[in-house]
């Protein structure tokens, strides 16, 4: 079992659950109640659901990648998912950094879950490649 990928999968699943439950209350519901025009409102709501699906599906993919049976076949998928999650975390850091308001890194704390998943998946993906070379 690839333990970094397993930890990444579990943290990703936790992140997906937090996104769906807490984000539904704090982001999606206020968005739908807002006075935005219908097209941008529903587009943003769809994007929220796209993120929900991405977080959930990538957590499942990381779990499968952690299994020894699928290690070599899923190595590149795990590395891609790591870059995806690191990119997601980076977006929050960049947005919080370019705004003039103080304390946005704590107002937008999503990066605190996104980056560890990405780093663990990166470590696990690299480790899967090392194990593959050792067996050859």
Is the confidence at residue 129, as pLDDT, over 80? no
Q: Is 34 helix (H, G, I), strand (E, B) or coil?
A: coil
What tens digit of pLDDT does each residue of 32-81 get? 999 999 999 999 999 999 999 999 999 999 999 999 999 889 999 999 99
Average pLDDT value for residue range 82-104: 93
Q: Is the pTM value of this prediction over 0.75? A: yes
| pLDDT number for residue 134 | 42
- Domain containing 92 equals 3-135
What tens digit of pLDDT does each residue of 14-38 get? 999 999 999 999 999 999 999 999 9
How many residues belong to the chain? Answer: 136
| pLDDT number for residue 124 | 96
In the chain, the number of structural domains is 1
| pLDDT number for residue 131 | 60
Distance CA 95, CA 101 (A): 11
């Amino acid at each position: 079992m690839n333990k970094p990928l397993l930890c990444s999968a579990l943290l990703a699943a936790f992140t997906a659950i937090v996104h769906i439950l807490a984000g539904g209350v704090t982001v999606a519901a206020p968005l739908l109640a807002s006075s935005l025009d219908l097209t941008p409102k529903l587009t943003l709501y769809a994007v929220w659901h796209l993120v929900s699906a991405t977080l959930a599906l990538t957590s499942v993919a990381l779990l499968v990648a952690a299994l020894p049976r699928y290690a070599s076949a899923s190595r590149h998928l795990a590395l891609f998912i790591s870059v995806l999650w690191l990119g997601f975390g980076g977006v929050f850091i960049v947005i919080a950094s370019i705004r003039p308001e103080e304390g946005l890194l704590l107002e937008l704390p999503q990066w605190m879950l996104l980056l560890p998943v990405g780093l663990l998946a990166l470590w696990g993906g690299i480790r899967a490649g090392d194990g593959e070379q050792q067996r050859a």
